[in-house]
């Protein structure tokens, strides 16, 4: 839709709003509207109060998946949760999830088998770009730390690295909540970004498993496996650079790096111990998750 610019005063230019937009949003003379300037252009929207979303859920006898259930409600954008539970272990898990996953929420009322949680502060999605970059950096640092810890056979350090997973989860949940609440972004398409965040979080799951598996079994890795971990770190850094500075001419570089590393993993599995084979399986899983995101990556920018 094209609109003509109209000179207004000495230095201002104005445009008229489409009649359908005015009617659909019940706009009146003198009413304020929101005008947002971004790299993609100028966005105009009626100033509306945010819709309050509430949900009632029953987590009785669901102890093992309570965090996942509550995490789903946070990412979906709910402001109020009425949660039914049936045991001390369940309410304990609910409160721990609240502390680690629900920024800006408080317990309003707790009864024998019910707890009410409400959001008491507004979401600040203006930090989305900084948070998504921090999310990637956290996962990259997790991989780099694993490389250094395995080079030194430092099992205690690996245990500590596994805990980084919780920070990456928190940042990923923030980003997915922002996308589900349809915040205004400079990114061309947000759907593929949601997929990428979801899958990179699974990569951090794999790294957590890798840390725990190596440290619990006190596995001193071969030089070949250590080299493969180093190349996985480089591959992940390559994807990171493509996400924040997309260059379609480098997509073939990503493909070649993936194929080369996968061949090394296959070769290494034939000449190592059974315990170390599983280490390679975990690395291979993380490698394939990252590479599978080449489609969503291109969909964001092309």
Helix (H/G/I), strand (E/B), else coil: 82? strand
Would you place residue 71 in the very low, low, confident or very high pLDDT band (cuts 50, 70, 90)? confident
Q: How far from the centroid of its chain's Cα atoms is residue 280's Cα?
A: 25
* Kind and range of the H or E run holding 299: helix 294-301
Average pLDDT over residues 24-30: 81
Choose the weakest-confidence range: 50-59, 109-118, 166-175, 282-291. 50-59
- Residues 6 or more apart in contact with residue 65 via CB below 8 angstroms: none
> CA 260, CA 262: separation in Å to the nearest integer?
5
CATH number for 54-119: choose from 1.10.10.10, 3.30.450.20, 3.30.110.140, 3.90.550.50.
3.30.110.140
Domain boundaries, the chain: 6-46, 54-119, 125-301
The top-scoring range by mean pLDDT among 2-11, 20-29, 107-116 is 107-116
The domain over range 125-301 is classified in CATH as 3.40.50.300: no
Encode pLDDT of 225-282 as tens digits.
999 999 999 999 999 999 999 999 999 999 999 999 999 999 999 988 999 999 999 9
Report the mean per-residue pLDDT for the chain.
89
Encode pLDDT of 95-110 as tens digits.
888 877 787 788 888 8
pLDDT of residue 282: 97
Contacts 24+ apart (CB under 8 A), 237-245: 237/140, 239/290, 239/293, 239/297, 240/136, 240/140, 242/297, 243/136, 243/196, 243/297, 244/133, 244/136
Average pLDDT over residues 203-232: 96
Would you place residue 50 in the very low, low, confident or very high pLDDT band (cuts 50, 70, 90)? low
Q: Is the pTM of this model over 0.85?
A: no
pLDDT of residue 62: 93
pLDDT of residue 100: 75
Angle, CA 70 vertex, CA 66 and CA 73 arms, to 5°: 150
């Amino acid at each position: 839709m094209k609109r003509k610019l109209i000179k207004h005063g000495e230095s201002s230019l104005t445009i008229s709003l489409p009649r359908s937009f005015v009617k659909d949003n019940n706009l009146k003379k003198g009413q304020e509207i929101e005008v947002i300037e971004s790299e993609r252009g100028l966005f105009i929207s009626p100033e509306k109060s945010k819709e309050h979303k509430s949900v009632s859920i029953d987590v009785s006898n669901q102890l093992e998946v309570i965090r996942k259930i509550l995490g789903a409600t946070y990412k979906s954008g709910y402001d109020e949760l009425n949660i039914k539970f049936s045991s001390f272990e369940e309410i304990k898990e609910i409160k721990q999830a609240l502390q680690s996953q629900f920024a800006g929420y408080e317990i309003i009322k707790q009864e024998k088998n019910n707890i009410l949680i409400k959001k008491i502060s507004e979401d600040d999605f203006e930090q989305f770009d900084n948070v998504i970059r921090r999310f990637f950096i956290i996962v990259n640092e997790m991989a780099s730390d694993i490389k250094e810890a395995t080079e030194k056979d430092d099992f205690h350090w690996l245990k500590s690295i596994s805990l980084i997973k919780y920070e990456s989860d928190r940042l990923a949940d923030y980003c997915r909540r922002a996308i589900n609440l349809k915040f205004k972004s400079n990114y061309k398409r947000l759907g593929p970004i949601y997929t990428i965040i979801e899958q990179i979080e699974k990569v951090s799951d794999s790294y957590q498993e890798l840390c725990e598996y190596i440290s619990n079994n006190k596995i001193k890795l071969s030089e070949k496996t250590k080299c493969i971990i180093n190349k996985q770190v480089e591959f992940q850094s390559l994807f990171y650079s493509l996400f924040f500075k997309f260059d379609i001419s480098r997509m073939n570089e990503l493909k070649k790096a993936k194929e080369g590393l996968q061949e090394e993993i296959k070769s290494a599995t034939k000449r190592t111990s059974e315990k170390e084979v599983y280490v390679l399986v975990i690395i291979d899983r993380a490698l394939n998750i990252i590479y599978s995101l080449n489609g969503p990556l291109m969909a964001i920018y092309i």
